[in-house]
Structure 1
Amino acid sequence: MTEVAAHGVRPETNEQRAWYWYDWANSAYVTTTATVLMGPYLTAIAKESACPGIRTGQDCTTNLDVLGIPVSPGSVYPYTVTVSTIVSAVILIFVGAIADRSPRPTRLFAGFAWAGALAASLMFLVAGTSWQLGVLLVVVASLCLGASLVIYDSLLCRIADENERDAVSSKGWARGYLGGGLLLALNFALLTFRERLGLSEGAAVRISLLSAGLWWAGFTLIPYRGLRHITGTVATPVERSAGVVGGSIAQLRSTLRQLRAYPQTMLFLLAYLFFNDGIQTVIGNSSLYGQEELGFAQGTVLGVFLFVQFVAFAGARLFGAAAGRVGAWRTVLAGIALWTVVVVAAFFVPARSLAVFLALALLIGLVLGGTQALSRSLYSQLIPRGKEAEFFSLYQAMERGTSWLGTLAFGLTYQFSHSYRWAILVLILFFVVGGLLLSRVRMRTGIVEAGNPVPSVV
């Protein structure tokens, strides 16, 4: 009997099984590229451009000239994520509006996924001092990932009812950590034995970046084929004669006006903006922190992240089980409190203290998947029917790989302090504010306001 069936609702469906696979597919990019390898690699490329011959771990005090603006090489990657998010915040809301009016949303989803996978694969070409190409490809891949996730997340409302979503969303995240962890293990082996294979460290990293793009593209075929029969919703508030683009703009204007009628949904989005920015900034810059601030070799950091992936699989399932007993809202609040502990502990981790770093990684793994999976299912309960993709576009602008307030604060703090310790400590503010705002969200009221049935446990 499946976990869902054990709670007295329908057994797991073929659509749900197919849906899980996109978490498996894109997590390879999120883990191998966005989280572990691209931050330190792009930083090394930028440092080589500004300070030729510099060694790993050495501070480069020469700034790069970016459109006339002096930028520290160590801030290039955080700023790149910031730029990609600002672009996403403008574009993704239109993607959601178009997706809600598209007769074949799954095709649109797969198109964005494969475009992002292509950009991820082309990162293989980033070498020497070509940090500009790396920046461009990170922005494109991040935008396409966000666009595909807008539609993917919205399909959760189509394949699971109100009592299933916490479990289904948690299973998807857990599947993602297994997939991301498996590819990361293969890339860890490649980096470990690169000398026996006659590869330089840079070549091994580039091959790993390529593998993440190919993995993302290949496994996207499973959710595309399993969900391709799903058609667009008929509940659109504007005439279809306006066309997809014109009608989508009109629909978006209508939604932004109507959002004021859902104050709990707005409050949840505001809370999510803060605590998810904190989570995303920790995830996206943790390998950079491990290598540049704590002085660990790239292979060591990669091994620790591999450990985190498999702990996160158990953590996602654990949080899903806890939500079934005490409710997702309380479980997420507890997760935010634990994230605050993570940031404080990270500030005090001694350089090259592997045991302490592993203990911190264990805590990160336990809270990583659970808070994100349950946030997704919580938000799905607050969305009015017929506007799933459009509302998830607002959510996705603040989702993994697209945070910008956190990365901007992190990058600016490093720019002025030249210390990643102070940069990561700034993130406490995001968890505190996000937690306080989430504690004020009245979930049952918001679900009723959105016109949705209230789950047995919120």
Structure 2
Amino acid sequence: MKLSRAQLSWILYDMANAAFALIVRTVFAPIFFKNYAAENLAPAVATSYWGFVSSAAGIAAGILAPWLGTIADANSGRKKYLGIFMSAGILATVALCFARRGDASLVLWLYFISLVAYMGGNSFYDSLLVDVSSRGGFHRLSSMAYAWGYIGGMIPFLLCLGLLMIVGSDSIFGVKCSFVIAAAWWGTLAWPLFRNVREKPRASQRINPLDGFRRLIATAREIGNYRNVVIFLAAYFLYIDGVGTIFMMAAPLSQDIGIPPGWLFGTILALQFLGFPFTILYGRLARRIPARKLVYLAIGIYVLITLIVGIIPSLGSADAKLAAFLIAAFLIGTSQGGIQSLSRSLFSELIPRERASEFFGFYNIFGKFTTVLGPILIGVAVWLFGRSEYGITLLAVPFLAGAWLLSRVAVPSERRS
């Protein structure tokens, strides 16, 4: 597949914001908050504040993205709003460097802004897929972007690790430098998108923010007329919630299981290596196999993961538990990128091209902004059985329910085939 300059630039943005996702959101911001900014708070209180702010950011992004998406679609402003969100995210990330010891409130506010910017901007980025590719190329291009996103996160992450080896692994200076590295990587690799991607012309319907809010309400009412979109969103919510929960709970679960920190850290790096080739593989397979069947395959692998995690408490030795943990991690690496990339491209097939930002706003509400069922199931498992691992096993239910709902969706490319 020969890529155009616009397509390459679009892929580069996935590599760009991966630095924030891995370096800031997943690794260093939580450590910076708990060990430095919130040192005067009890660990459990600090963790709860971090969780509340993360959830609030998801809600805020979930409200802003579809509302502004209606305006962006009407005014041909997808790149404009992506630029606004991205700039806010980069500035908030750099501003974390100015936080001092004990500045818990400041760090929470800056992290809230950066996370809203990251998640909200992704809606506009996703919606540009319909401007850089024909429907026949959605699956391949989306998979390539997700795959290169793993590399895009890994390269600056390795730079950060190298820096910490020089200045000391517990150096706050090193952590702050990591924030700068993530912000610089994000802005630099994003620049080609704004230069080379052109939004396809659409009928001009200049609308103001108030009109955008009215149109959003109308779309929310009207979306019921798009039967396939509604069913897909329900299915996506069920299975992607499980994917997000497993990723989010990897660190605390590893502690419950007794996995050494070094193994966990190495596993995170290994997942970046694995994610690249397997996501590319999913995209190549989608040329010959319907993308929906490949999503079924990924869901099946995740069901297997839930069962493996469920048997870990019954394993007698620490070595056996570590082996099971690593097998589960390997399976995650084979399918995490594939299930996300093909879900995005499947959704692109179902929606009207001229309203992509608006519809992708709803897509992200149901997917990237919500991890609801998984934490509830884990809480129920802890309450009933005293083991968080059994909560992961219970995720098999929404995974299978999501697969069943997905089978009820009429996919245009499959009908044409």
- Per the TM superposition, whether the score is higher than 0.5 is yes
Alpha-carbon distance in 1 for matches of 2:162, 2:322: 19
Question: How much has 1:179 moved relative to structure 2?
Answer: 0.8
Q: Does 1:154 align with 2:127?
A: yes
Residues 177-198 of structure 1: CA deviation (Å, up to 9, x unaligned): 111111222223334x24xx35
Query: What is the CA-CA distance between 1:406 and the residue it aligns to?
Result: 4.3
Matched, 1:24 2:15: yes
CA distance 1:222–1:147, change in 2 (3 Å): same
Matched, 1:311 2:274: yes
- Pairwise CA distance, 1:403: 1.9
Which of 301, 310, 315 is equivalent to 2:264? 301
Question: Which sections of structure 2, spanning at least 5 residues, go unmatched?
Answer: none
Q: Which shifted more, 217-226 or 352-361? A: 352-361
Of 112-121 and 405-414, deviating more is 405-414
SS at match of 2:211: helix
Counterpart of 1:213 in structure 2 is 183
| 1:220-251 deviation digits (Å, cap 9, x = unpaired) | 11211112x43663275xxx3xx321332232
Check conservation: 2:12, 2:190, Cα contact below 8 A: yes
* Distance change in 2, residues 1:217/1:293 (3 Å): farther
Whether 2:254 is the aligned partner of 1:290: answer yes
Tell me which residue corresponds to 2:289.
326
Give the structure 1 partner of residue 348 of structure 2: 380
- Stretch of structure 1 that moved more, 109-118 or 201-210: 201-210
CA contact (8 A) 2:37 2:99 kept: no
- In structure 2, the residue corresponding to 1:220 is in which secondary structure? helix
Residues 29, 264 of structure 1: alpha-carbon distance in 2 compared, 3 angstrom cutoff: same
Q: Output the CA distance in 1 between the equivalents of 2:381 and 2:356.
A: 38
Q: CA deviation at 1:315?
A: 1.1
Note the C-alpha offset of 1:296.
2.4
Q: Does residue 336 of structure 1 match 2:306?
A: no
Indicate conservation of the 8 Å contact 2:65/2:361, yes or no. yes
Secondary structure of the 1:326 match is coil
Give CA deviations for 1:371-419 in whole Å, capped at 9, x if unaligned. 000000000001023111100110122343x224146527856996986
Q: 1:40 to 1:413 in 2, by over 3 A?
A: farther
2:160 is matched with: 187
1:253 aligns with 2:214: no
Distance in 2, matches of 1:330 and 1:422, equals 28
SS in structure 1 of the partner of residue 352 of structure 2: coil
Match of 1:68 in 2: none
Q: How far, CA to CA, are the matches of 2:283 and 2:82 in structure 1? A: 26
Shift in alpha-carbon separation, 1:427–1:42, aligned structure 2, 3 A: farther
For residues 322 and 161 of structure 1, what CA distance do their matches in structure 2 show?
18
Partner of 2:194: 224
Contact 1:95–1:147 (CA<8 Å) still a contact in 2?
no
Change (3 A) 1:32 1:428: farther
**2:72–2:78 Cα contact (<8 Å) kept:** yes
Equivalent residue letter for 1:136: W
Report the 3-state secondary structure (helix = DSSP H, G, I; strand = E; otherwise coil) of the residue aligned with 2:267. Answer: helix
Counterpart contact for 1:293–1:419, Cα < 8 Å: no
Normalising by the residue count of structure 2, what TM-score does the alignment of the two structures yield? 0.87
Matches of 2:291 and 2:225, distance apart in 1 = 23
Confirm or deny: 8 A CA contact 2:223 2:230 kept in the other structure: yes
How far apart in 2 are the matches of 1:343 and 1:131? 36
**Residue type of the alignment partner of 1:409:** I
- Which stretch shows the higher mean deviation, 123-132 or 354-363? 123-132
Please, which of 88, 92, 102 is the counterpart of residue 65 of structure 2? 92
How far residue 257 of structure 1 moved from its aligned partner, in angstroms, is 2.7
Measure how far apart 1:212 and its partner are. Answer: 1.7
- Give 1:447's aligned residue: none
**TM-score normalised per structure 1:** 0.80
Distance (Å, rounded) in 2 between the aligned partners of 1:35 and 1:188? 14
Shift of 1:208: 2.3
SS at match of 1:268: helix
State the number of aligned residues. 411
Query: Which structure is higher in helix share?
Result: 2
TM-superposed CA distance for 1:129, in Å, is 4.3
Task: Name the SS for the 1:163 alignment partner.
Answer: helix
CA shift for structure 1 position 443: 1.9
**In the alignment, what sits opposite 2:332?**
364
Distance, in Å, in 2 between the alignment partners of 1:203 and 1:415 is 38
The counterpart of 1:403, out of the listed 370, 374, 384, is 370
- CA positional deviation for 1:43: 4.8
1:312 aligned counterpart, secondary structure: helix
- Write the distance in 2 (CA, Å) between the matches of 1:76 and 1:20: 34
Q: Which residue of 2 aligns with 1:234?
A: 203
CA distance in 1, matches of 2:140, 2:415: 12
